Amino acid sequence: MPLVHSEMIEESSTLLLWKLTETETELKETLGYAYNAEELSAITHPQKLREWLASRLLIKIIAEQFGINYIGTYKDEHGKAFLIDNDSHISITHTNDFVAVAINPPAAVGIDMEKMDAKLQRTSKKYLSQPEFEHAGDEIPLLCMYWCAKEALYKLYGKKKVSFKDSIYIEPFDKNALLLKGKLTDLGRDIEANVTVRWFDNHCLAIAL
């Protein structure tokens, strides 16, 4: 898993991005038993299995950098991942080609990565409000940034049944922007966040803090 990018985000969160090249067997051998076997057994697609194993290996690596004794992760009732026996916050994302993890000891963090694809044009009305839709038009880079930013903010919040279209708003931005502003509204609460954006090989990566 060659390291592609490492960065400190807003002085408290660390981002690691790796290129996924290993086989399932190689990943299991490197990871050892530091994973949730029950969760792993529920994954049947070979590529998804590699992505899952790679993400846990990267969590192990980044946790050890913080002096954390990594013994695995668990998910709460909303599907949000947490470290076992440690209060540091983590977020995970993976694609066919990359796996990325962010760790933020003091507060929640959300991360997402998406490859630019025409499907973002076909589905944009499902995840964009009308002002966002008018702003993005059919520009795939803007649509990709909107999607990743909303997904990152959704992961930061960590609760299900939140509408991307109606409950998560991203302020208008330029396609060269590296910092976006977002707000999630749910159950009478407003969650505001800065969303850092990075690009790698036509993939948009967004980190919400």
Q: Which band of pLDDT confidence, cut at 50, 70 and 90, is reported for residue 44?
A: confident
The pTM of this model reads 0.92
Q: Which band of pLDDT confidence, cut at 50, 70 and 90, is reported for residue 35?
A: low
Cα–Cα dist 201/180, whole Å? 20
pLDDT of 117-172, one tens digit each?
999 999 999 999 999 999 999 999 999 999 999 999 999 999 989 999 999 999 99
What is the reported pLDDT for 1? 64
Q: Which band of pLDDT confidence, cut at 50, 70 and 90, is reported for residue 116?
A: very high
pLDDT of 54-112, one tens digit each?
888 888 888 888 899 888 888 889 989 999 999 999 999 999 899 999 999 999 999 99
CA-based max dimension of the chain: 49
Residue whose entry in the numeric block shows the structure tokens 């709460």: 76
**Residue pair 198/93 in contact by the 8 Å Cβ criterion:** no
What is the reported pLDDT for 204? 98
User: Would you state the torsion angle of the CA atoms of residues 111, 84, 18, 177, taken in this order, to the nearest 10 degrees?
Assistant: 20
What is the reported pLDDT for 33? 67
Sign of CA dihedral 9, 11, 15, 16: positive
Please report the domains of the chain, with CATH numbers, ordered by start residue. 3-104 (3.90.470.20), 112-208 (no CATH)
Structure tokens at 193: 């966040």
Q: Which band of pLDDT confidence, cut at 50, 70 and 90, is reported for residue 34?
A: low
What is the reported pLDDT for 159? 92
